[in-house]
């Protein structure tokens, strides 16, 4: 199975939607709350040049925002 990492903030509705979608599709993921974790926030910015969330990584592919079609394609569902 592919590694899925999601960078989130507590008030982000798209982050909640993405996590719900992962759960509905039985996709395991690791969440990093960038509002509370400065190290992970810097990691996210370094990888993407973005401060917007969600940032979702599927193995080495980076998705900015919650793009169901792209996620489904990358995850083979």
The structural domain count of the chain equals 1
What φ, ψ does residue 47 adopt, rounded to 5°? -75, -35
Between strands 30-33 and 4-8, the pairing is: parallel
Query: 46-62 pLDDT, tens per residue?
Result: 999 989 999 999 999 99
Residue by residue, DSSP assigns the chain as ---EEEEE-TT-HHHHHHHHHHHHTT---EEEETTT-HHHHHHHHHHHS---S-EEEETTEEEES--HHHHHHHHT-
- CATH number for position 28: 3.40.30.10
pLDDT at 23: 98
Interval 13-23 mean pLDDT: 98
pTM value is: 0.94
Q: By residue range, what is the domain housing residue 33? A: 4-75
pLDDT of residue 1: 80
Res. 27: pLDDT tops 90: yes
Across the chain, mean pLDDT equals 96
- Distance (Å, whole) CA 17 – CA 46: 24
């Amino acid at each position: 199975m592919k590694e899925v990492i999601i960078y989130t903030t507590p008030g982000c509705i798209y982050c909640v939607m993405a996590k719900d979608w992962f759960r509905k599709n039985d996709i395991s993921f690791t969440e990093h709350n960038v509002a509370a974790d400065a190290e992970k926030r810097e990691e996210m910015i370094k990888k993407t040049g973005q401060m917007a969330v969600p940032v979702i990584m599927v193995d080495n592919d980076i998705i900015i925002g919650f793009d169901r079609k792209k996620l489904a394609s990358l995850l083979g569902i």
